[in-house]
């Protein structure tokens, strides 16, 4: 019987005759590659700091607007109100730019951390690395998916759990991650404030919305502080876990 290129003969069953190009050669999965997170972690921590400073600056601008609203009968009320509104609008731009720069860097960092979790042998995955990116773009679900991804990364970085051990999925969650996410969500749900120059006839509403916006900025600042801690501690935990599994 002729033995063509793709035929199976007794001789081809020996390990020496199964070349990588042979259709009968076993397929081996590629080992997940470890990604060095140190440079990107430093950049993300700095960007969290910039965003936090921008949030504090906006809180100061909102406080200035509230001061202007305290004396609506003053002769210079209109001028002070316009000045306060201009200050708030400027800080809006600064904060917006800071968040626009931070967001993609953090998402990339999160995806790389998810890939490192695969390299640590954390199987089976609850959420694949693709959710570290896609989870941010699903309406309503994006209030929950990102924090679930980060909590799983925290669980998976437990150095006491061996590679391949599925018990990492029920490891202890992080209070730090939970508080970071909660403080991040609150400012998204609070009003951004109302121009003082537009609500002279409804000062009570103006004071209320601007006070809430000021509180939201303070909480956002706290969120950026916790976010930088989450990023730096999670990188440290993953590297410690990698070192422990290599022993």
CA–CA separation, 183 vs 38, rounded Å? 26
CA–CA separation, 196 vs 210, rounded Å? 9
Tokens read off for 98: 């800071």
CA–CA separation, 101 vs 78, rounded Å? 35
Q: What separation in angstroms does the CA of 132 have from each of 88, 108, 170, 187? A: 33, 8, 20, 22
CA–CA separation, 124 vs 71, rounded Å? 62
Continuous segment of H or E residues that includes residue 228: helix 203-246
Residue 204 is predicted with a pLDDT of: 74
CA–CA separation, 36 vs 217, rounded Å? 33
Residue 8 is predicted with a pLDDT of: 45
Supply the mean pLDDT for the chain. Answer: 85
* Residue with the larger pLDDT of the pair 204 and 211: 211
Whether pTM > 0.75 for this model: the answer is yes
157 has pLDDT over 80: yes
Helix 38-69 vs helix 203-246: crossing angle, to nearest 10: 170
Residue 219 is predicted with a pLDDT of: 96
43 has pLDDT over 70: yes
58 has pLDDT over 70: yes
Which of 9-13, 93-97, 184-188, 239-243 comes out lowest in average pLDDT? 9-13
> Across residues 179-207, what is the average pLDDT?
74
Residue 34 is predicted with a pLDDT of: 94
15 has pLDDT over 80: no
* Residue with the larger pLDDT of the pair 1 and 210: 210
177 has pLDDT over 80: yes
DSSP structure class, residue 2: -
40-46 long-range contacts (CB < 8 A, ≥24 apart) are 40/105, 40/108, 40/109, 40/112, 41/109, 41/231, 41/232, 41/235, 43/105, 44/102, 44/105, 44/106, 44/109, 44/228, 44/231, 45/228, 45/231, 45/232
Tokens read off for 151: 């909590």
27 has pLDDT over 90: no
């Amino acid at each position: 019987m002729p033995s063509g290129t793709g035929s199976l003969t007794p001789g081809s069953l020996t390990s020496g005759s199964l070349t990588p190009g042979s259709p009968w050669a076993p397929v081996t999965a590629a080992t997940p590659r470890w990604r060095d997170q140190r440079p990107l972690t430093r950049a993300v921590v700095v960007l969290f700091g910039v965003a936090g400073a921008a949030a504090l600056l906006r809180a100061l601008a909102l406080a200035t607007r509230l001061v202007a609203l305290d004396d609506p009968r003053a002769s210079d009320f209109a001028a002070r109100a316009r000045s306060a509104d201009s200050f708030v609008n400027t800080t809006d731009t600064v904060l917006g730019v800071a968040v626009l720069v931070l967001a993609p860097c953090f998402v990339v960092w999160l995806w790389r951390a998810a890939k490192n979790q695969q390299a640590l042998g954390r199987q089976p995955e609850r959420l694949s690395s693709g959710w570290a990116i896609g989870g941010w773009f699903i309406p309503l679900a994006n209030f929950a998916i990102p924090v679930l991804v980060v909590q799983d990364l925290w669980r998976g970085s437990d150095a006491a759990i061996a590679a391949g051990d599925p018990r990492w999925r029920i490891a202890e969650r992080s209070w730090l991650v939970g508080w970071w996410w909660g403080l991040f969500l609150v400012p998204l749900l609070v009003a951004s404030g109302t121009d003082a120059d537009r609500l002279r006839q409804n000062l009570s509403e103006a004071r209320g919305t601007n006070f809430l916006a000021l509180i939201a900025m303070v909480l956002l600042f706290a969120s950026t502080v916790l976010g930088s801690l989450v990023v730096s501690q999670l990188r440290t935990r993953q590297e410690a876990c990698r070192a422990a599994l290599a022993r």
